[in-house]
Amino acid sequence: MALHTVKIACERPDTYGRSLSHWDCQEMARQLVAEGRVSSISVETIRRILRSHRLKPWRKRMWLSPKVPRDQAFTEAVRQICDLYTRPLEAHERVFCVDEHTSIQPRPRRVPTRASQPGHPTQVEHEYSRCGALNLLAALDTRSGQVFGEIAARKRQVEFIALLEQIEAALPETVSRVYIVLDNVRMHTGKQIKAWLLAHPRFVFVHPPVHCSWMNQIEQWFSILVRKRLKIADFRSKEHLAVRLRAFIQEWNERAHGFHWTVKSFQKILDKCEQRVLAKAA
Cα gap 147→276, rounded to integer Å? 38
**Sheet containing strand 147-152, strands side by side:** 147-152, 134-141, 93-104, 177-181, 203-206
pLDDT at 113: 92
Contacts of 87 (CB under 8 A, 6+ apart): none
pLDDT at 267: 81
Question: Could you give the 3-state DSSP secondary structure of residue 58?
Answer: coil
Cα gap 239→245, rounded to integer Å? 10
- Residue span(s) of the chain under CATH 3.30.420.10 come to 93-110+127-265
pLDDT average per 10 residues of sequence, the chain (282 residues): 92 95 96 93 95 95 69 82 95 98 95 92 92 97 98 96 98 97 92 96 93 90 97 95 98 96 81 65 60
Question: Could you give the 3-state DSSP secondary structure of residue 89?
Answer: coil
How many Cα neighbours within 13 Å face the side chain of 156?
5
CA angle 190, 191, 197 (to 5 degrees): 90
Contact 270, 78 (CB under 8 A): yes
pTM: 0.81
Report CA dihedral (72, 78, 80, 85) to the nearest 10 degrees. Answer: -160
Which residues does residue 128 pair with via DSSP β-bridges, in sequence order?
A: 109
Q: Which amino acid is at 133?
A: A
Domain 93-110+127-265 has CATH 3.30.420.10: yes
